[in-house]
Amino acid sequence: MKTENWKAELPQGFSTESRVWIYQANRQLNESETNQLKEKLDIFCDEWMSHGRPVKGWAKILFNQFIVFISDDTQDRLCGSAVDNSIRFIKEIENQFELSLLDRMMMAFLVNDHIKVYPVNKINQALENGLINEDTLYFNNTVTTKSSLENNWIMKLKESWLAKKINLPKMI
């Protein structure tokens, strides 16, 4: 799996301060699921409203495992009900496709060109067993803006917020 070209998938004409939400699936989506979900995401974005006006929104499946929403609300702030509608939509997707998308205790890493997901309480064990290391690429799903998505979504574990929470080997 190549991580170099994913940024080309991001929308043009959106502010770097556009809001971002990343929903990580507990498993890879297959081709049929991806096609069905892409259609649903397009419809949702076309119908997404805030304060009675269309949201300048975008949604896409990246790496067959992450659903990324972007809303350029720099001109017109997104209302709470618009955010609630997106969460409700994600819950519908979870049910329809038998996925877990809202579990923030699962961490994703790129290992041997495959995405591996570990519960946060098993990260130290994965480190000890050599399944991941400080240079393993980590998907930082806590990013909240388009700029941070572009610059800080995929990073080495040792450079992430998670590094402070786990037992990385000490450098001498």
Sheet holding 19-24, edge to edge: 19-24, 66-71, 57-62
Helix H segments across the chain? 31-47, 80-97, 123-128, 146-152
For residue 131, the 8-state DSSP code is S
pTM: 0.92
- Residue extents of the structural domains in the chain: 16-97, 106-142+151-165
How far apart (Å, rounded) are the C-alpha atoms in residues 119 and 66? 16
Tens-level pLDDT at each residue, the chain (172 residues): 566 789 999 999 999 999 999 999 999 999 999 999 999 999 999 999 998 999 999 999 999 999 999 999 888 788 889 999 999 999 999 999 999 999 999 999 999 999 999 999 999 999 999 999 999 999 999 999 999 999 999 999 999 999 888 877 664 3
